[in-house]
């Protein structure tokens, strides 16, 4: 092993050990706090973790060594070695802490079933008198998902060419454009549609328009990524051939790239509409209008029979969209 690599591995090993022990003492301190209501100061946890980590590392009882020096083989079975027991212990304590944090309560799960009786009876006895109201809200949801998808298509389509590595020349401008488009798309995609809905419901007010904008932004970002990956997977041969005829860059994209991506693009887009219809419901909960908003209102009023109607309608729409989109995508595959 090279000397720099060795030093790097040692540092990584020590850091692993320190984090390992700080985490273990953190968990222990949480449990003591939880069960005995005694607070252990956090700097104490950190100092203790570092101290134990350093000592065990020096003594050679180290998990980090095992990870970063895989060449050091010991014939010991895991249950006879220090690192084996450490890993076992850390998994165990993580599980115990998780159980307590999530407040898992099997007693409630099995004995309080009757509390949900209202919802269940609502589902089997829906109040069909409010059907018109629900259908109006449902139409809002479907159309907002449709508009979000339709508006997203041209934007994502254009952007995807600039986010495709194989189309952007490896010049300064090419690289810059590629990196900027990719980064923005990644950031926007990693922000959930719900968060966008909260932002837009403040911006343009609660209602379907806010929901539409939220889904559109999210769709542009994720379609740009899917589309551009599709471009990166095209056969480069036709691009070469079209370039060689003396075609301009735009002509090359239109004649060699577009025909190769059009059918996967359609498939992705329909799939996206499908996702958008589902998300439109959720987005409604946080101010995006439509059936989601209605569901939230009826649930807060404890009108379980109304909630029942809404649940049925959502299920039917999601199920239909699922079938239609699967069928269309199947047809596209054959093209």
Partner 1 sequence: MKSIIELKNLHKVYATGTHALKGIDLEVKEGEFCILLGLSGSGKSTLLRCLNRLIEPTSGEIHIDGEDVIAAKGQKLRFIRRKIAMIFQQFNLIKNLSSLTNVLTGKLGYSTLIHSLTFPQHKNDVKIALENLRRVGLKEFANKKTRNLSGGQQQRVAIARALMQDPKIILADEPVASLDPATADSVMRYLGELNKKDNMTVICSLHFLSLARKYGTRVVALKDGKIVFDGTPEEIDEKKFKEIYGEDAEEVEIR
Residues that bind partner 1 (CB under 8 A): 235, 237-238, 240-248, 250-251, 254-256, 259-260, 263, 335
Smaller CB distance to partner 1: residue 51 or 262?
Answer: 262
**Cα angle 261, 267, 271; round to 5:** 140
Q: How far is the CB of 259 from partner 1 (least distance, A)?
A: 5
Q: How far is the CB of 151 from partner 1 (least distance, A)?
A: 24
Cβ proximity of 236 and 128 under 8 Å: no
Smaller CB distance to partner 1: residue 150 or 254?
Answer: 254
Q: How far is the CB of 229 from partner 1 (least distance, A)?
A: 19
Smaller CB distance to partner 1: residue 254 or 316?
Answer: 254
Q: How far is the CB of 184 from partner 1 (least distance, A)?
A: 28
Taking alpha carbons only, the member of 36, 41, 11 closest to residue 25 is: 41
Q: How far is the CB of 165 from partner 1 (least distance, A)?
A: 14
DSSP 110-140: HH-GGGGHHHHHHHHS--GGGHHHHHHHHHH
Tokens 């249950």 appear where?
79
Q: How far is the CB of 326 from partner 1 (least distance, A)?
A: 22
Smaller CB distance to partner 1: residue 223 or 261?
Answer: 261
Smaller CB distance to partner 1: residue 125 or 240?
Answer: 240
**Angle 208-232/193-203 helices, nearest 10 degrees?**
140
Q: DSSP character for 233?
A: T
Cβ proximity of 66 and 31 under 8 Å: no
Taking alpha carbons only, the member of 226, 231, 220, 225 closest to residue 261 is: 231
Taking alpha carbons only, the member of 262, 275, 265 closest to residue 322 is: 275
Smaller CB distance to partner 1: residue 209 or 255?
Answer: 255
**Cα angle 146, 151, 156; round to 5:** 120
Smaller CB distance to partner 1: residue 114 or 170?
Answer: 170
Q: How far is the CB of 272 from partner 1 (least distance, A)?
A: 22
């Amino acid at each position: 092993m090279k000397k720099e690599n060795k030093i790097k591995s040692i540092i990584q090993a020590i850091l692993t050990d320190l984090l390992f022990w700080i985490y273990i003492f953190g968990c222990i301190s949480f449990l003591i706090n939880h069960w005995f209501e005694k607070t252990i100061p956090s700097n104490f946890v950190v100092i203790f973790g570092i101290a134990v980590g350093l000592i065990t590392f020096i003594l050679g009882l180290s998990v980090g060594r095992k990870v970063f020096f895989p060449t050091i083989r010991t014939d010991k079975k895991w249950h006879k070695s220090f690192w084996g027991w450490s890993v076992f212990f850390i998994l165990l304590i993580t599980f115990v802490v998780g159980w307590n944090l999530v407040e898992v309560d099997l007693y409630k799960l099995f004995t309080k079933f009757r509390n949900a009786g209202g919802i269940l009876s609502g589902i089997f006895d829906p109040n069909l008198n409010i059907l018109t109201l629900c259908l109006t809200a449902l139409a809002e949801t479907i159309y907002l998902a449709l508009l979000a998808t339709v508006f997203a298509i041209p934007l994502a389509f254009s952007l995807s060419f600039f986010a495709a590595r194989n189309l952007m020349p490896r010049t300064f401008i090419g690289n810059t454009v590629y990196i900027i488009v990719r980064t923005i798309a990644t950031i926007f995609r990693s922000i959930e549609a719900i968060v966008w809905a909260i932002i837009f419901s403040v911006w343009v007010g609660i209602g379907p328009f806010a929901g539409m904008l939220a889904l559109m932004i999210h769709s542009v970002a994720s379609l740009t990524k899917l589309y551009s990956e599709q471009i990166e997977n095209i056969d480069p041969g036709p691009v070469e051939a079209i370039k060689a005829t003396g075609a301009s860059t735009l002509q090359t994209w239109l004649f060699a790239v577009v025909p190769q991506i059009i059918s996967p693009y359609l498939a992705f887009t329909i799939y996206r509409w499908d996702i958008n219809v589902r998300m439109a419901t959720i987005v409604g909960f946080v101010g995006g209008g439509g059936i989601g908003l209605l569901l939230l209102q009826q649930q807060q009023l404890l009108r379980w029979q109304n909630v029942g109607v809404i649940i049925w309608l959502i299920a039917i729409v999601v199920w239909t969209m699922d079938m239609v989109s699967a069928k269309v995508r199947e047809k596209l595959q054959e093209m």
